[in-house]
Amino acid sequence: MSQTDDAEDYAGLPEATARPKVRIVQLLCPKRHCIVATAYESPDGEMLPEMTVRLREGFEEMVQKGANPWCGICQSRDLRPEDQPTVFATMVEAWPFLAENARLQAEAAKFFKASKG
């Protein structure tokens, strides 16, 4: 079968279109403990490299204000960004999930901090 034949087989089918997607970029230690994360809406669903830059800059600002520059669970200083899509198309759709996760993470951090004392 030639390339021409292949093209004819797909004639009339709609071309793939880019779809918006909410993505989460996280700063993770090697054991995959999340140090900090943010979500953003990508118009075409693809990763926006500037979001990783923004996350790192935000983390550096937090460190300058007194946050630890390492994983609070395993103490690793090897922190790497990871950017992955979610199942959500919009931030409005993702917000209840993100808000609940933030609440649970705050509770876990409070418990973890209290248990170290």
Q: What is the pLDDT of residues 8-50, one digit of tens each?
A: 555 565 556 789 999 999 999 999 999 999 999 999 999 999 9
Residue 84 above 90 pLDDT? yes
The pTM assigned to this predicted structure is 0.78
Query: Confidence band (pLDDT; 50, 70, 90) for 75?
Result: very high
Spans of all domains in the chain:
18-116
**What pLDDT score was predicted for residue 99?**
96
Confidence of residue 114 (pLDDT cuts 50, 70, 90): confident
Asked if residue 12 lies in contact with residue 58, where contact means CB atoms within 8 angstroms, the answer is no
Place of tokens 């918006």: 20
Nearest to residue 25, comparing CAs of 3, 1, 57? 57
The closest of 78, 98, 93 to 25, measured between CA atoms, is: 98
* C-beta of residue 98 within 8 angstroms of C-beta of residue 40: no
Question: Six-digit token pair at 36?
Answer: 């900090």
